[in-house]
Amino acid sequence: MAISGNAQIGRFMLLSMAVAAIFNIRNVVNSNIAIGMVAVPSFLFATATFFIPYVLIIAEFVSLNKDAKSGIYQWIRSSMGDKWAFVGAYCYWFVNLFYFTSVLPNILVYSSYAWLGYEYQFSSPVTVLLSIVLFAFATWVSTKGATWVGRVTSIGSSLVLLMAFGFVGLSLADWIGGVAPATPITAAAMTPTFSWGFMGVMAWILFAAGGAESVGVFLNDVRGGARTFVRTIVFAGLLIGVLYSVSALVLNLYVPASKLSYTSGVFQVFGALGAHHQVSPVLLNRLVGAVMLLGSFGTLMVWTAAPVKALFSEIPKGIFGERAIALNRHDMPERAAWIQFCVVVPLLVIPALGSSNVNQLLNVVINMTAATALLPPLIIMAAYFHLRLRLDHLPRDFRMGSRRVGLAITSVLLAFFGIAFIAAIFPAGQNLLLTLGYNVGGVVLFLGWALWKYRLYERGLVITSEVLHPAPASAGARRSS
């Protein structure tokens, strides 16, 4: 991204974009169900130790590539070369596959609340079947170039954020006003036990604090330059951490964490708040359901085609077949989108085979979504470590401290992320066959396939080079002699 002579982004706009990109009330509910009040300090820890330095890492890559198109492929390429740049870009698409497996069942739940005012209980097989039908419809719509999808997503996301802020504000006011929390707020309740299960849930917390890539790219567009950017991002990280922590704190004001479920947790806490303020539960459920449905469905359709298109526009031509990545008359990679649909179907079916209900199904797919979401940041941080270790001489206007500071911070992040990733891939209490077949098998299969495809691409380049530039006959004679 080139430096603009007329920067348009001020501190408040950058702060607003950071909060909008990161904060999600559903992440608070899911983490609260998993670890209870321990989520309060965990969110603050994650945003302070991960979000802030990660945004600064992205900002340094943007500064290094200020005259190039910003994107994960270019960032990693500038440090580790084309192969790992391809793997990093591929991982972002790969993570998106598991995102579908968690968002599709939730859309069914939101639809039930929006239309009926309560959750209609589907079995796991029925949930998977309806999710497949829904994803097929979303794939079809997304490949038709529907311009209204972006507007729906923007409106829905804004309403979800407004609704979340309203919940936090009212709950906090009730707590200050004297309402006794359903879950006692004590230091012991918020003290983590560093078990294997807790480290696995930390992947959820880190996933909730993700989204730094969408903020770091604006380094060159902020009024006041790098100094203003750094100060604003540090403040934004602390603000988001406080917002997440306060949300986790007041979430159990009326409903204990032990009573919440993955399918209806959002509606349970909103319903309890509404009951305290004498608002009709059915009316509130329908309102919350409609808002969540609007935001999630719009996001689903955007993310059905956008990552596929972004992946194939960044990576070198020749890795995938021309027919697979061809754009239709709506400028969408239609065949690639339907290939993606075929890949997502077994990702929906496999965890359902080992789940007796929708809550267990969501637990598996949310865990896998959070685990795989750590892969792109791990690769970016590895690229940054290599940059500071081997290529620190490259010119750039912004650096995250000295070489020693950058290496120290990245080393700690890589170690912590690595442990959280492994713990999330091998979650405590999950069926071993499901873990090996779905969690481990999924990562090994998809990453192995990507590396295999790139190896074929490299072989093709060598063969093409030999055909276009054959070795001189005399050179061959000398070698043979």
Tens digit of pLDDT for each residue in 142-180? 887 666 666 666 777 788 888 888 988 999 999 998 888
* The two three-digit tokens of residue 72, written as one number: 């994960």
Largest interatomic CA distance in the chain: 95
Q: What pLDDT sits at residue 113?
A: 92
Q: How far apart, in whole angstroms, are the C-alpha atoms of residue 29 and residue 165? A: 14
Q: What pLDDT sits at residue 3?
A: 41
Q: Under a CB-based contact definition with an 8 Å cutoff, are residues 60 and 233 in contact?
A: no
Closest CA to 443 of 411, 458, 421: 421
Closest CA to 71 of 58, 82, 81: 58
pLDDT of 28 higher than 60: yes
Q: What pLDDT sits at residue 201?
A: 79
Q: CA geometry: angle at 284 spanning 370 and 124, to 5°?
A: 45
Q: What pLDDT sits at residue 226?
A: 73
Half-sphere exposure of 315 (CA within 13 A, CB side): 27
- Buried-state track 87-123, b at ≥16 Cβ within 10 A, e below 16: bbbbbbbbbbbbbbbbbbbbbbbbbbbbeebbbeebe
User: Which residues on neighbouring strands pair with residue 312, listed in sequence order?
Assistant: none
Question: For the chain, what is the mean pLDDT?
Answer: 82
3 state DSSP class of 23 = coil
Looking at mean pLDDT, say which of 55-69, 218-232, 243-257 comes out highest. 243-257
At 338, the amino acid letter reads: W
Question: Domains in the chain, ordered, with CATH?
Answer: 11-434 (1.20.1740.10)
Closest CA to 208 of 50, 347, 351: 50
pLDDT of 354 higher than 60: yes
Q: What pLDDT sits at residue 69?
A: 61
User: Which residues on neighbouring strands pair with residue 349, listed in sequence order?
Assistant: none
The per-residue pLDDT for range 446-464, each reduced to its tens digit, is 889 989 989 988 888 777 6
Q: How far apart, in whole angstroms, are the C-alpha atoms of residue 193 and residue 255? A: 23
The per-residue pLDDT for range 371-419, each reduced to its tens digit, is 888 888 999 999 999 999 999 999 998 899 999 999 999 999 999 889 8
* Mean of pLDDT values over 225-245: 82
Q: What pLDDT sits at residue 480?
A: 40
The pTM of the full predicted model, rounded to 2 decimals, is 0.82
